[in-house]
Amino acid sequence: MIKFLSALVLTTVFALPSFAQQKASSGTGAELRVLDKVSGQSSNYDLMSGSSMQLGQLTISLRSCRFPEGAPANDAFAYIDVTETQTAQPIFGGWMIASSPALNAMEHSRYDVWVLRCKTS
């Protein structure tokens, strides 16, 4: 009986990662929201994958935007690099998740940046 339960537990544990994996599609770009903490203004920007934009002293680059297959408006996640323009010092580099922006947030004294959704065209 113990061998059976051990085998059942091991089978269940090894099967769990396959449930967590979900097929993702790549978008052509992303819609980002930027909050200027000094002025209190928030603005949305469209950025194509592989392109960059200037925002004050920051350069924001979008490497990739992905979303669950068949649902571009749901749970988008984008790989973003943010650097200081003058010093080229990296401020942020990593995946941001639209549904959980605080999970991997960019720390900056003036700006907050987060992903809203992927663009498909």
Q: What is the pLDDT along the chain (121 residues), one digit of tens a residue?
A: 665 555 545 455 454 444 456 788 888 999 999 999 999 999 999 999 999 999 999 999 999 999 988 776 668 999 999 999 888 889 999 999 998 888 888 889 999 999 999 988 7
Task: Give residue 1's pLDDT.
Answer: 61
3-state secondary structure of 103: coil
Nearest to 31 by CA among 78, 68, 75, 70: 78
User: Do 39 and 54 touch, CB atoms closer than 8 A?
Assistant: no
C-beta pairs of 86-90 under 8 Å, 24+ apart in sequence: 86/57
pTM confidence score: 0.76
Task: Give residue 47's pLDDT.
Answer: 96
Task: Give residue 59's pLDDT.
Answer: 96
Residue located via tokens 């999970």: 103
Task: Give residue 16's pLDDT.
Answer: 45
Task: Give residue 10's pLDDT.
Answer: 47
Nearest to 62 by CA among 53, 46, 50: 50
